[in-house]
Amino acid sequence: MTKYIQILIILLTLSACGQNATEMKTPENANEMFTEFIAKKKFIKQPYPNYYPGIADEKMRPIFTEKINQVATDFKTVSESENPTDIKYQEKIRIGLSRFADIYLGIRYRRQGKSLYVF
């Protein structure tokens, strides 16, 4: 009985790992939507229903906006390609997140520097 369970678990694991890339359908107005998103002002205070307080450090707004717009441009490129797949979008997400690494390191070092002055 335990051999059957082990075989079943192995088959389920292999079938989960062997998934093919899923082709994504791009909406007809995707180009317009990306253009609107890139032009939109970001990180502003939003009332109900989102209650987003906005960005705390205004100097960071253009930097964050530039990074987000780069990701949107990457997504736009994938959506315009002949075969947009979930794998391609996931790769662009990975690249986009890696662009923020230098910002987070800089913020972390600034915070550590401030805490050194407190002691």
pLDDT per position as a tens digit, 20-31: 667 778 888 999
The tokens for 32 are 């317009």
CA distance 12 to 102: 39
- Say what the pLDDT of residue 48 is: 81
The tokens for 117 are 């002055």
Residue-wise pLDDT tens digits, 39-74: 999 888 888 887 888 887 888 889 999 999 999 999
The tokens for 81 are 């390609």
Residue with tokens 């209650």: 51
Residue 118 pLDDT > 50, yes or no?
A: no
Residue with tokens 């088959």: 11
More confident call, 46 vs 33: 33
Residue from 32, 27, 56, 29 nearest 43 by CA: 56
